[in-house]
Structure formats: C-alpha cells, structure tokens
Amino acid sequence: MQGCYPHHAPEACTWSRLAKIVTLADRLSSGERESLPEDSSQKKVVETPLTCLSTKLAGTNGALEDFPMLALEPDLKHWFSPGPHRTTYPSLWEAFNHEVAKLDKGVAFDLILQQLMSLLEKYTLFMPAAAYRDRPDISLYHHLKATAALAGCLYDLEISESLLEELLSALKGSAKHQPTLERGDFLLVAADVSGIQDFIYSVTSEKALRGLKGRSLYLELVCQAVAWQILANLELPLANLLFLGGGHFYLLLPNSQKVKEVVQLWQDRANTVLVGAHGGRLALVLHEEPVTYRNLLRAPAGQEKAWVSFAEVWRQAAAGLAREKRRKFASYWGDPQSVVEILGPMPATGEEFACPICSEELLLGPEGICEACTGFADLARKVAAARFMEFSRFDPQPLTLPFTSYEQVFQAMGVGFKFNSDDPPRPERALVLNQTDIFTPKGPCMGFTFMAHHVPRRGDGSVKTLEDLAQIATGIKKWGVLRADVDNLGLVFTEGLGPEDRTLSRLSTLSSLVSLFFSAYVQNLIQREYGESVYLVYAGGDDLCLLAPWSLLPDLSRRLRDDFSKWTRGRLSLSAGLYLAPRDKFPVYQAASEAGDLVSQAKHEGKDRLGIFGQAVCWGDLETLATVKEQLVSLLNEHGAPRALLSLIKASWQEHEQYTQTKLPLYRVWRLLYGLRRMTERLSRDKKTGAIGALTELEQTLIINHHLRSHTDIAIRWAEYLTREEG
C-alpha cells in the first residue's frame, strides 16, 4: 500500500480507512485492549522462541516450555522436545523471501493470497507474533490468519471510518465508546456432519477395507466442499476458516443478512444432496453464534469471572450445534415432499441381492459390489497414491438418482476433487498432500494440506484385507481396532487457558497444534514405521481410528499416547480403546463400536487410560504390565517354561479377585509362591538354568506387598495370546 506506514500508526496512512481496519483487526486478533510498546531492547528479539501454548493450560504443573523456531516439516520430530534446534528470524525470513520470489505476482489475488498463507504457515507457525513480550505464546501465522479473517469481515461490513475510530478509541480505554464494543458484528458458524460413525462403519467385514477409508475421506471432503463454497460465495479468503477436521468446521464471518442467507442456502443445498444420496443417514448441521468486539478481547484484571470470552462463544456454538443435531432435518418438515424423501416408503424388496460391503439391495448378482462402494474404494486407492489434490468450482449440477458415485455429490455441490500421483497439469488449482514444498516444475501450487490416508498394501499393490492383517499378528491370528481421542478437549478450549488468554489467536493456535499431531504426525509415523501392517481409517481433528494385527496395537497405542504427551508437554492426555475381533470376518462396524465403548469406559474411569480386554488401565500401569508380559513370553518361548505357568498365575489372580470382592481373608500369596518354587525345582532338574533367574525376576515384578499387581490378568491374557499358535 503506497504511502502507508505500519498499522500501529493508521492515521499516517494514505488509505487510512483500510489501515484502521487492519489495525483494529490486529488488536482484536491477539485480544489486546491497547497496543503495547514494541521495545526490542528488553531482550534479544531475534532469538526469542514461541512458548508452547499447552504449557499455559490451567490446572497443569511445570515450567513453561518453548518450541524450536523452525520451518514446518510433516514429521514434526524436532518439535517434540525443546532440544538445541534453534533458528533465528533472519534465516527464516530469508528462506520465506526466497520462496515468495518464486511466486507469479500476476495471478489472481485469491490465488496469491492462498499461496502466501501457505508460505506463512510453513515459516511462521512456530514463530511468536510478539517477541517483545516476556512469554510470547501466539503463533505469528495464527495471529496473521486471524487478523486477515477479522479484517475481511470488517471490510465486508462496510464499517465507516468514524465507527472504526470509535472502536479503536474504546480499545484504548475510552469510557465514552465502551458501548460500541457490544456490537455483534461477527458470526461464528459451527458445522458438523451428523451420522459419521454409522456411515463409516456400516460395512460388513467381507471386502470391507475396499471402501472403509474412502468413506472417511468422502466425509472430510464434504465438509471441505461446503466450507469452501460458503467462503467463495461470500468472497472471503480461507483465512476465515478457523478449523476443519474430524467431520466439522468453524467459520468466522460478518454478521449480516447476506451471510446468514448464504449459510442457510448451503446448509439446505448440502442436505438436499445428502438426503438424495444417502436417504437421511447423513446430514449437515450448522449453528450460528454472534460475536461482539468485547468477546474478542482479553479479560481485564478483576473481571475474569464475568467476562464472556471468545472461548465461551466457541463453547456456546458447540452447545448449539449439539442441540441442532437432535433436530437435524428441522428445515425439511415444512415441505411434504422432503418429508417423504426422509420418512417415506422404501422401494419394494425381496428380489434384489445385497452389496456385500454396505448391504444395500442391488439388481446385481450375489458377488456384485454396488457402484457407490466401488467408488469409495476407488477414492481410497487414488488418495493413498496421491501427492496432490486438485480442487475446482463450477455451477452446481442436479443430483442424478439413484446414487452410484461420490462424484455425483460433489458435482451437485459445484465442486470437483481430483487426486494425482504425478505433477498436476494445473498446479495453481492443487494442494500438495503431506508436504510443505508447494513448488512443481510447472509452477507453484495454491498451498499444502495434511491428510492421513495410509493403507497397507500387498506386493501386487492391492489393499490388504482383514485376513491379511490377522495373519501378520504374532501368536493368535487376529486383527484389532484402536480408537483414541483427546481427553476434555472441549473444556480445554473453553476453560483451559486463563481468562486473560481465551482469545481468537490463542484458540486458533491451540486447535491447530492438536490437529497437526493427528493429521500430520500420525500419518507420517504410520507410513514410516508401520506401513505394511496398519490401516489408518482416519486421523484428524482430535481423534483417530486404525486397524492392525492385534499384537501391534498395545505397544502402538502406548507409543501414540507417549508421543502426544511429549507434543503437548504432558499437559493433554489421550484415552483409547483396543478391541480384538473374535474372528476374521467379524463386522468392522461392530469391532469399531466395541472399541468406542472401551474409550468411553477409559474416560469414565478417570481418563488418560487404555480400555483393553474389558478393563480400563492407566498408561503407566500398562507399561508395567508390558514388562510382565515380556517376562512371561520370554519364559515360555526362550527358557522352556511350561504353559502351566500361565494357569498357575491365572488361578492365583482369580483367588485374589475373590478376596478383593468379598474382603475375606481368603487370598494367600504363598500358594503362588509355592507353585513358582516347585516349577523352579523342575526346571532346575531339567537344567534350564536361565529360566530360574527369569522366574525370580517375574516373582519380584508380580508380587507387591504380598499381593498380585493390579490388572495382572491383562498381562496373562496378553502373553497367552502372543504365545498361542492356533488361529
């Protein structure tokens, strides 16, 4: 902007109204009530790192910690601990400028804006926004992104220069203009796809993996399509998309009648398409919550309890969304034809065959697969091999029925998604997948995104089946499901940060860091270390679900929990559920449901636990049980101990449980000790001297204060399954 000074002095700018919009947006973004002096002499600004925001969560102990100041990489390995990895602003600025210089400045404004946002995310995500503060905790990228979102709203509202001056004056403490801060000029729009779990898992085990991943990806793309269409219709940038993942999204929009009409238009259009395609099993639910200028500010000292922060508005939006999900087709009830579409009679049945994957009735042979499931399988195949995702917009097309392909849904929404393993012919329409380098030989892409899409493959390139996964397992040949999600995340966003820190930029930073772990790190970890064995159904937002040989899952679940704890510096926790399918052809939906119940059990019994074998175990206890399991497996497989060892300990555990439940003095640990001594004598006679020391170590691990260690039965069952040969 020629002739314009920095946004801290908007009155000196040639285009003062635009400068004041940016100034106001900048101050609202970080929640400042007034600008702070930028006195860089207080410390070495060029060396000041970003404080890990999770270390500021309320109710947590420990010192504040910093992130290393580095350019974003998908594996995130350098950010798991403070370490010596440190870069200064000048080196990142030089790298950023080098990539900006490679952009084509003559392209459309929307494209160059998105490209710049991607480069800013790459180079400033772990850079503090205000390094002159004692503990800078706002990511520069998220501060800039929130500032752009707010500025776009203010510009769209056509706020006068005089009103801008009043608002800026109010931020500086002017009592006269304080009421101006109560204007609800912004709108937080929360959206969620209802019916996700049933849709993803409503598949039989036979050939289920062909489309399971495709269904999960399809739902993510539906959310992305609606969010992007709303913003495109309002001519707002993607900066106004505050969050996208896990089947829901949040938008920050201007609070105007036009905006409400566009939001309602796309809710109705999306639901019309989803009802036509899926008969009411899926629905897009939206809720709008007004946001005032005061909601965006930090709570002043002494007013924290009464202050309605942006975090509280977020909570109200989530609560409103939950209410709307209970009446998800409310807008349909006024139209008789729409009611018939949802509740009307189904076509006559009895002659058609059913799809072996989704059980929908078909006019095909018994071995046939419906075109929709074939399409979902094809989507999963394309995405798994893709390096780029192309996006296009066009006039929405009428939905053609019957529904046979996910592409019909996107065409009816006026969007197109295309996945390429080679360089895209139109890079300016493409996002790079799971990499941060946006440049191709044909030019720069519009940005990058992280998408957890890994699936294990056979030698011929086909996706491994459940039977394949079961055969990889050590010991008993079973596959299993692992589901996990973050504990208390809703409370973390609304109450975790102190009242003075519950601002837009901080919430955006925190949600991004959580989502980044699931969408980027989990995908990278699985692909790098478990690529041949783990089927990643989904990972994004704040949860994950994967299928794998059962023997991998206990250790993998602990690895994921430990890594998440390192990522959040021990301030956030995961609860998980691990379920072993009783047979190869056990329905995936039922196994996933059982795993979900185990997650609920883990949360009910205190959180930060794993539900396994019908019990909820603290992660620390699981580590000890893993030691017991390893000792048992070693005794059986390496030292020649008889399997009667497992029966001996199991009988002692049952006696222990009886004692615990009745509180009667029935339990005698000496019976177990006697049995172990007799077994030691037999092994000694057989000259299996290595087993004698191993049994002594096992005894010391198992027995604490004359009682068996808690959850010993889990270790027994774990070892039993690992050493059993039959399927």
Q: What are the tokens at 233? A: 């219709």
Strand order in the sheet with 415-420: 415-420, 388-393, 430-433, 447-449
Cβ atoms of 66 and 85 within 8 Å: the answer is no
- Contacts with 428 (C-beta within 8 Å, 6 or more apart), sequence order: 107, 111, 443, 444, 445, 446
Cβ atoms of 239 and 118 within 8 Å: the answer is no
Residue ranges in 234-370 assigned as alpha helix (H): 257-278, 310-325, 336-343
Span 77-124, pLDDT tens digits: 888 876 665 667 888 999 999 999 999 989 999 999 999 999 999 999
For residue 190, how many other CB atoms are within 10 A of its CB? 24
Strand order in the sheet with 609-612: 535-540, 543-549, 479-486, 574-580, 609-612, 615-618
Cβ atoms of 629 and 713 within 8 Å: the answer is no
In whole angstroms, what is the distance from residue 704 CA to residue 628 CA? 13
Determine if the peptide bond prior to 356 is cis (ω within 30°).
no
In whole angstroms, what is the distance from residue 280 CA to residue 282 CA? 5
CATH fold match for the domains 186-388+395-416 and 454-612: yes
Q: Which helix (H) or strand (E) holds 26?
A: helix 16-30
- Contacts with 598 (C-beta within 8 Å, 6 or more apart), sequence order: 483, 576, 577, 578, 579, 611, 612, 614, 616
Cβ atoms of 714 and 632 within 8 Å: the answer is no
CA angle 269, 273, 274 (to 5 degrees): 115
* Closest to 544 (Cα-Cα) out of 475, 619, 486: 486
Res 727: pLDDT: 45
CA angle 464, 537, 268 (to 5 degrees): 130
Q: Cα torsion for 154, 156, 157, 160, to the nearest 10°?
A: 70
Span 336-361, pLDDT tens digits: 665 555 555 555 445 566 777 777 76
Task: State whether CATH 3.30.70 applies to domain 186-388+395-416.
Answer: yes
Res 298: pLDDT: 83
Q: What is the pTM of this model?
A: 0.89
Q: What are the tokens at 519? A: 């969408």
With DSSP H G I counted as helix, E B as strand and the rest as coil, what are the percentages for the chain, rounded to 5? 50, 15, 35
Residue 4 sits at φ, ψ, to 5 deg, of: -110, 135
Three-state SS at 183: coil
The distance from CA 14 to its chain's CA centroid, rounded to whole angstroms, is: 44
- Contacts with 419 (C-beta within 8 Å, 6 or more apart), sequence order: 379, 382, 383, 385, 386, 388, 389, 390
Mean pLDDT of residues grouped by 10 in the chain (727 residues)?
50 75 91 52 65 78 81 89 68 94 92 96 91 74 95 94 93 86 96 88 67 88 96 95 90 97 95 89 94 89 78 92 82 60 54 70 62 87 91 90 87 94 92 96 95 89 89 95 93 81 87 93 94 92 94 97 92 95 86 94 96 95 94 91 91 81 64 86 78 87 84 94 79
For residue 726, how many other CB atoms are within 10 A of its CB? 6
Cβ atoms of 204 and 359 within 8 Å: the answer is yes
In whole angstroms, what is the distance from residue 104 CA to residue 401 CA? 43
Please list the residues that pair with 457 across neighbouring strands.
Answer: 463
Q: What are the tokens at 499? A: 């009242």
* Closest to 518 (Cα-Cα) out of 497, 499, 490, 537: 537
Res 163: pLDDT: 94
Q: What are the tokens at 561? A: 């929990």
* Residue type present at position 141: Y
What is the residue extent of each domain of the chain?
10-181, 186-388+395-416, 454-612, 619-727
Strand order in the sheet with 241-245: 241-245, 248-254, 186-194, 283-291
Q: Sort residue 614 into left (φ over 0), alpha (ψ -120 to 50) or beta.
A: left
In whole angstroms, what is the distance from residue 350 CA to residue 348 CA? 7
In whole angstroms, what is the distance from residue 455 CA to residue 462 CA? 10
Q: Give the CATH number of domain 454-612; options: 3.20.20.140, 3.40.50.720, 3.40.50.970, 3.30.70.270.
A: 3.30.70.270
Three-state SS at 213: helix
In whole angstroms, what is the distance from residue 704 CA to residue 412 CA? 65
* Closest to 150 (Cα-Cα) out of 316, 5, 291: 291
Q: What is the Rg, in whole angstroms, of the alpha carbon atoms belonging to the chain?
A: 29
In whole angstroms, what is the distance from residue 397 CA to residue 414 CA? 6
Cβ atoms of 534 and 526 within 8 Å: the answer is yes
Question: Strand 574-580 vs strand 609-612: parallel, antiparallel, or unpaired?
Answer: parallel
| Cα→Cα distances 638→399, 652, 688, Å | 63, 24, 10
In whole angstroms, what is the distance from residue 530 CA to residue 526 CA? 5
C-alpha distance across the termini of the chain, in Å: 71
Give all strands (DSSP E) within 132-282, no chain letters: 186-194, 241-245, 248-254
